Chain A
């Protein structure tokens, strides 16, 4: 079959392949990133296959078996209402995955366009957007989410919105900074010189060139999102019972910390591993994709 392929095409095929292979090899050599990736994979499989892995209901109480220690029937023990902690941790991964995706979605949806516009147009538009960003960044991210929840009310949707908004200024700053440097590239000037519209320049010429930092920040942002949402849940301001949510589980387990420590421990480990996975993967992605670290 090789004779039908022209040498030129073959060469390019190979160079595109090898770029991917090089990155993949680098990612594999980075043990921490690989470990992070495996954690995310386990987490995703758990979330997607929750009903298969744990056939029962995670929310049905069974008061006769409350606060049992880990056993063969309930590998991670039961909580104060006799619900299997394993089941709740498994189903909790669905909730936290939804939160992680929702939060970065909100952050990206609001932050990326504002960052692009702010960086590209500069001047008064930039000034306005940046002062708002400054104001938002003046609050610690979690405090901002907390304040927003107190305005919007508790629940899954409001948790996602509040934590998402608390992440918006991070995306604005990141995208603005990258846009500022890409905007000065000759190819942007060249695109303007052939009469390309600003919107096209932003979406076709600038956005793809700032995708790498956005991707990295998205991975890190998912970890942050899970953590913030869990903290809200812990305080009783996030997702409400009986929905199995790790933070809320941790919060309700706190009361039994001395005589039934497993109730709080396992959701805590789940949060820890999920956040660790996203952070390690994000760092690994940065090492592989960020040209500044490329040798």
Chain B
């Protein structure tokens, strides 16, 4: 079954000019997001997940950032648009929510002012109408007594409510794609569950596709349909979520899954300790030769340190590893 691709990122490369030289934060990644699906993107801190999202919306200041490749959204390459055109897409067709609900709302403006600003910007409606739409959106994200909350300032809301307000703001123009950059990381577990439910429900309601960026594999298992695993700027594995959890192909993915504590799980090795991935994420300035993961890989072979691994297609999955070549 061939689905229609909403967003298609091809060979995206984002580099930053910094004092020490040039760092490549995202190195030639490809991804497709289909209509109405949730694509999970996982990886360690600094692997380029957020930079990918920011590159899609062209939110990185340039210079120092330099974005190459193709980002097709509805048949248009976002990288070709001028500033005015990309601004019309931001918040309208593609929205983004951020990790820190505590700081992603402006402390000096009321919730209503901030949400209606986005609505007025893209829908060209009158102040009054935008305001009532803001109330409506707050209702939609299940904030109690929205007509009162809309007059409040961010400091009067709890973390969970602020994230709801952020979601309300992001979805206020019914975007076709939502980039959720660690939407639940700063929240405690019960609130996380509520936010997940909320996003699921809104996805159905607005038929929004979601790119879910996180390092929380539990969240991925809950929400995503397909998963991309990223490691220092490259996609190392792409698979449907069930396959990924059942049979991870890339040693890095295997390591990630083994480093999660499961209640009642028997450890294969017989050790009583939790497995970890040895070593450290390499510095973007001193990338190892060959496969970027080989210094930390338990199954590294000779070739891994010499040549870059090929992208292997296997039963509708993709993996970047010599093991499967």
Name A residues whose Cβ lies closer than 8 Å to a Cβ of B. Answer: 6, 8-9, 12, 15, 122-123, 185-197, 200, 204-205, 208-209
Q: Given A123-B63, A195-B91, A197-B87, check contact A190 B156 (CB 8 Å).
A: no
How would residues 133 to 173 of chain B score, 1 for a CB under 8 Å from any chain A CB and 0 otherwise?
00000000000010010001000100000000010011000
**Does B32 have its Cβ within 8 Å of any Cβ on chain A?**
no
Q: Given A189-B59, A190-B104, A194-B169, check contact A204 B109 (CB 8 Å).
A: yes
Interchain CB contact under 8 A, B156 and A191: no
Interchain CB contact under 8 A, A194 and B106: no
Nearest CB on B from A69, distance (A): 56
Nearest CB on A from B280, distance (A): 26
Q: How far is the CA of A226 from the CA of B293 in the complex (A)?
A: 67
Interchain CB contact under 8 A, A193 and B148: no
Interchain CB contact under 8 A, B145 and A189: no
Interchain CB contact under 8 A, A194 and B98: no
A-contacting 9-mer, from B117-125, B222-230, B238-246: B117-125
Q: How many interface residues does chain B have, given as a range?
A: 20 to 34
Q: Which residues of B contact A208 (CB under 8 A)?
A: 106, 108-109
Q: Which residues of B contact A191 (CB under 8 A)?
A: 106, 117
Q: Given A6-B148, A9-B148, check contact A195 B104 (CB 8 Å).
A: no
Q: Given A8-B145, A12-B152, A195-B92, check contact A187 B105 (CB 8 Å).
A: yes
Interchain CB contact under 8 A, A196 and B117: yes
**Does B89 have its Cβ within 8 Å of any Cβ on chain A?**
yes
Q: Which residues of A contact B166 (CB under 8 A)?
A: 190
Interchain CB contact under 8 A, A195 and B105: no
Shortest beta-carbon contacts, A-B, top 3: A194-B91, A195-B90, A195-B91
Q: How far is the CA of A122 from the CA of B95 in the complex (A)?
A: 26
Q: How far is the CA of A122 from the CA of B98 in the complex (A)?
A: 24
Which residue of the partner chain, among B95, B104, B148, contacts A186 with CB atoms under 8 Å?
Answer: B104
**Does B51 have its Cβ within 8 Å of any Cβ on chain A?**
no
**Does B103 have its Cβ within 8 Å of any Cβ on chain A?**
yes
Interchain CB contact under 8 A, B106 and A193: no
Interchain CB contact under 8 A, B108 and A186: no
Of the A-B pairs whose beta carbons lie under 8 Å apart in the complex, a sample of 20, sorted by A's number, is A122-B61, A123-B63, A187-B107, A189-B59, A189-B98, A190-B98, A190-B105, A191-B117, A193-B57, A193-B59, A193-B90, A193-B95, A193-B96, A194-B118, A194-B169, A194-B170, A195-B87, A195-B90, A196-B118, A209-B108
Q: How far is the CA of A186 from the CA of B100 in the complex (A)?
A: 7
Additional pairs, 15, CB under 8 Å, beyond known A193-B57, A194-B121: A6-B145, A8-B148, A12-B156, A187-B107, A189-B98, A190-B104, A190-B105, A192-B90, A194-B90, A194-B91, A194-B117, A195-B122, A196-B118, A196-B121, A197-B87
**Does B17 have its Cβ within 8 Å of any Cβ on chain A?**
no
Q: Given A195-B87, A197-B87, check contact A187 B148 (CB 8 Å).
A: no
Q: Which residues of B contact A9 (CB under 8 A)?
A: 148
How would residues 68 to 109 of chain B score, 1 for a CB under 8 Å from any chain A CB and 0 otherwise?
000000000000000000011111100110111001111111
Q: Which residues of B contact A186 (CB under 8 A)?
A: 98-100, 103-104
Q: Which residues of B contact A185 (CB under 8 A)?
A: 103
Chain A residue, CB-CB nearest to B118: A194
Q: Which residues of A contact B89 (CB under 8 A)?
A: 195
Interchain CB contact under 8 A, A192 and B59: yes
Interchain CB contact under 8 A, B121 and A205: no
Interchain CB contact under 8 A, A205 and B106: yes
Q: How far is the CA of A197 from the CA of B100 in the complex (A)?
A: 22
Q: Which residues of A contact B169 (CB under 8 A)?
A: 190, 194
Chain B residue, CB-CB nearest to A207: B108
Nearest CB on B from A62, distance (A): 56
Interchain CB contact under 8 A, A195 and B121: yes
Nearest CB on B from A20, distance (A): 14
Q: How far is the CA of A263 from the CA of B271 in the complex (A)?
A: 94
Q: How far is the CA of A122 from the CA of B166 in the complex (A)?
A: 28
Q: How far is the CA of A205 from the CA of B87 in the complex (A)?
A: 17
Chain B residue, CB-CB nearest to A194: B91
Chain B residue, CB-CB nearest to A205: B106
Chain A residue, CB-CB nearest to B149: A8
Q: How far is the CA of A209 from the CA of B105 in the complex (A)?
A: 12
